[in-house]
Amino acid sequence: MERMTISIGEKLAHTFDALIARRGYTSRSEAVRDLMRREVEFARSGDDPEGQCVANFSYVYDHQLRDLAERINAAQHAHHDLVIATSHVHLDHDHCLESMFLKGKLSEVRAFAERVGAERGVNHGHLNVISVKIGDAHRQGRYHRHHGHLHLIPRS
């Protein structure tokens, strides 16, 4: 493990300490490592649009808006190769929160999420992307036998 030393202002340090305490971190180091991972992943995802990813696209939509739910459903069916699963929550009489779990080429996943997010009546869309490499992750044979499938291995 490498050691890094940083200097920050007192106010920022106290604000950061309060934030990491609310989030349940036990140390500044782990919180900083998570921030660094997030930024490295963000930079990496922009470097290789043809690379593979898994992602979660969450958004709120007005299910009363004419044909919106049907258009979203049709988009999901048209891109069944990208959509792994969806989760649907009713927020009130008019609004639903939906979360789509996606996998595929980053460029295709982003384009799909942007298309759905651009639909009139869709709000608060957010795409969380994790770059993966495709391969065989069997480090220890005791977990299960290989059944001819490939794994999506998160890049660290």
- CA gap 152, 53 in Å, rounded: 8
Q: What is the pLDDT of residue 141?
A: 54
Average pLDDT of the residues in 20-44: 84
Residue 46's pLDDT is: 63
Query: Residue 70 pLDDT more than 90?
Result: yes
Residue 95 confidence (pLDDT): 95
Average pLDDT, stretch 56-60? 97
Q: Model pTM greater than 0.75?
A: no
Residues of the chain above pLDDT 70, percent: 87
Mean pLDDT, rounded, of the chain = 86
Whether the per-residue pLDDT at 131 is higher than 90: the answer is no
Radius of gyration in angstroms for the set of CA atoms belonging to the chain, rounded to a whole number: 20
pLDDT single digits (tens) 77-118: 999 999 999 999 999 999 999 999 999 999 999 999 999 999
131-to-20, 37, 61, 145, 146 alpha-carbon distances in Å: 25, 12, 27, 25, 23
Quote the tokens at residue 81: 């190769």
- C-beta separation of 112 from 82 below 8 A: yes
